[in-house]
């Protein structure tokens, strides 16, 4: 028989109760698996395709597409899930604004939610169901920062020269320039154009559309219309003002009297599985326009070239240019709701002892978005629609 505890033992147990309770509470908070997952970052992988046939001729219609080396380019646009890992790694404090609040509040995007924890650090959460959508609300400068993060092997920490401000590109207060030892970077105009429109079977005849076709694509996302033997290619845009509809997706912009067919939404990358480009890329036409490193001068301001067309193509204010001529320009700090980006990997070029194509741009942050831009925010699209009606 166990004797009852003495008064001294009761006193000792009582004095240890609260320290033990505190220890258990702290253990649950800091060692709970769910908490650990929420605070950790996962390394990302960029799917690449090889663009071969070096020293090819340019497209005689535009003078674009000639590339003298083999390179690799992203099979898809950078996704919401990939960009969210970037944010978790380097944006607990966000002095350069690589997160834009419109990623949450813009009804045409709504993909990543930011919150502030007890340490006054930012945390990021993907809106369920949007993981595999292309990231938008991305400026050229922040696409460059993503490239630097990739070239620095996806580090965690503050936004500085070891993470986002140097790497493949050197970013200063007034300029961006490409390093000679760059690894991950944005495509040049010619690289993007070749990956989208080159014709492997007839190098002197480039395709007119990025789906290996001279005929405009349809816009059906239905599974039965995107089989390998489907007669029609498809992309995400407005056909006769009717947007692409993805069954089962989140309805963030429902139809109403002003949007009788529904407001155009993004689609998951690669959903048009039977409509690849000549080298196996997807969505180089439709869904979202994409940053390149082409630079044009307008009113003494340097603007960056955007290639392709977005989900808004086919609406009254946007026009219906969706072939090889589709492009627009914007200042490097503009963050539109209809622009994404994909990466080029430089390993193949370095293996052949070639340096990357030179690139530099000078800019003033306050003057980086100008009236020459053809790319607008969701609110500007909405106002244009209202005015048109």
Tell me if 42 is assigned to some domain: no
What does 247-260 look like in DSSP terms, one character per residue?
Answer: TTS--SS--BTTBT
Contacts of 101 (CB under 8 A, 6+ apart): 114
* Beta carbons of 209 and 285 less than 8 angstroms apart: yes
Cα gap 93→163, rounded to integer Å: 13
The owner of tokens 């939610």 is 113
Cα gap 226→219, rounded to integer Å: 10
CB burial of residue 8 (10 Å; 0-12, 13-18, 19+): exposed
pLDDT reading at 23 higher than 80: no
Tell me if 39 is assigned to some domain: no
Q: State the average pLDDT over residues 38-42.
A: 66
Count of domains observed in the chain:
1
Tell me if 87 is assigned to some domain: yes
- Residue 250: the pLDDT is 53
What is each CA distance from 219 to 241, 275, 382, in whole angstroms?
A: 11, 11, 22
Q: State the average pLDDT over residues 319-331.
A: 90
SS (H, E, C) 102-147: HHHHCCCCCCEEEEECCCCCEEEEECCCCCCCECCCCCHHHHHHHH
Residue 49 is given by DSSP the state: E
Q: State the average pLDDT over residues 105-113.
A: 91
More confident call, 206 vs 9: 206
Q: State the average pLDDT over residues 40-44.
A: 86
User: SS3 of 87, please?
Assistant: helix
What is each CA distance from 72 to 76, 94, 191, 196, 343, in whole angstroms?
A: 12, 31, 10, 13, 9
Tell me if 36 is assigned to some domain: no
Q: What is the CATH number of the domain that holds 98?
A: 3.90.1580.10
Tell me if 221 is assigned to some domain: yes
pLDDT reading at 388 higher than 50: no
Cβ count near 54 (within 10 Å): 14
- Residue 8: the pLDDT is 59
In 3D space, the residue among 261, 369, 247 whose CA is nearest the CA of residue 315 turns out to be: 261
Tell me if 192 is assigned to some domain: yes
- Residue 368: the pLDDT is 36
Task: Identify the domain containing residue 62 by its residue range.
Answer: 47-389
Cα gap 383→258, rounded to integer Å: 11
- Residue 13: the pLDDT is 52
Tell me if 41 is assigned to some domain: no
Q: How far apart are the first and last CA of the chain?
A: 90
Which uninterrupted H or E stretch holds 16? helix 7-31
User: SS3 of 175, please?
Assistant: strand
pLDDT reading at 82 higher than 90: yes
Lowest mean pLDDT among 34-48, 195-209, 282-296: 34-48
pLDDT reading at 63 higher than 60: yes
Over the stretch 152-185, which tens digit does the pLDDT of each residue have?
999 999 999 999 999 999 999 889 999 988 999 9
Cα gap 106→252, rounded to integer Å: 10
pLDDT reading at 15 higher than 70: no
Over the stretch 45-56, which tens digit does the pLDDT of each residue have?
999 999 999 999
Structure tokens at 306: 């955007």
Tell me if 348 is assigned to some domain: yes
Q: State the average pLDDT over residues 226-255.
A: 79
More confident call, 344 vs 24: 344
pLDDT reading at 28 higher than 50: no
């Amino acid at each position: 028989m166990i004797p009852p505890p003495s008064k001294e033992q009761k006193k000792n147990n009582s004095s240890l109760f609260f320290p033990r309770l505190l220890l258990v509470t702290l253990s649950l908070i800091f060692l709970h698996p769910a908490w650990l997952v929420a605070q950790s970052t996962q390394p990302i992988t960029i799917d690449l395709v090889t663009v071969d046939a070096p020293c090819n001729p340019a497209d005689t219609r535009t003078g674009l597409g000639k590339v003298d080396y083999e390179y690799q380019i992203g099979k898809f646009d950078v996704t919401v899930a990939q960009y969210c890992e970037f944010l978790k790694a380097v944006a607990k404090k966000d002095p350069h604004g690589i997160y834009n609040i419109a990623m949450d509040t813009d009804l045409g995007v709504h993909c990543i939610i930011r919150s502030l924890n007890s340490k006054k650090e930012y945390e990021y959460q993907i809106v369920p169901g949007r993981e595999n959508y292309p990231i938008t609300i991305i400026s050229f400068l922040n696409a460059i920062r993503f490239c630097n993060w990739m070239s620095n092997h996806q580090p965690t920490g503050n936004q500085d020269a070891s993470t986002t401000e140097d790497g493949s590109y050197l970013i200063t207060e007034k300029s961006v320039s490409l390093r000679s030892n760059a690894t991950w970077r944005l495509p040049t105009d010619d690289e993007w154009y070749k990956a989208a429109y080159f014709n492997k079977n007839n190098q002197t005849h480039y395709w007119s559309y990025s789906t290996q076709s001279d005929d405009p694509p349809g816009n059906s996302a239905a599974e039965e219309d995107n089989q390998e033997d489907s007669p029609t290619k498809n992309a995400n845009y407005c056909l006769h003002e009717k947007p692409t509809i993805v069954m089962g997706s989140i309805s963030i912009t429902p139809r109403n009297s002003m949007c009788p067919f529904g407001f155009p939404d993004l689609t998951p990358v690669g959903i048009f599985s039977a409509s690849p480009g000549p080298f196996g890329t997807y969505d180089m036409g439709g869904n979202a326009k994409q940053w390149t490193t082409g630079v044009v001068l307008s009113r003494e301001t340097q603007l960056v070239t955007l290639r392709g067309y977005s989900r808004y193509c086919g609406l009254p204010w946007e026009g219906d240019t969706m072939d090889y001529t589709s492009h627009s320009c914007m200042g490097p700090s503009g963050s539109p709701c209809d622009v994404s980006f994909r990466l080029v990997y430089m390993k193949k070029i370095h293996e052949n002892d070639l340096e990357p194509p030179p690139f530099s741009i000078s800019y003033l942050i306050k003057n980086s978005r100008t009236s020459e831009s053809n790319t607008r925010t969701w609110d500007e699209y909405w106002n244009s629609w209202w005015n048109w009606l």
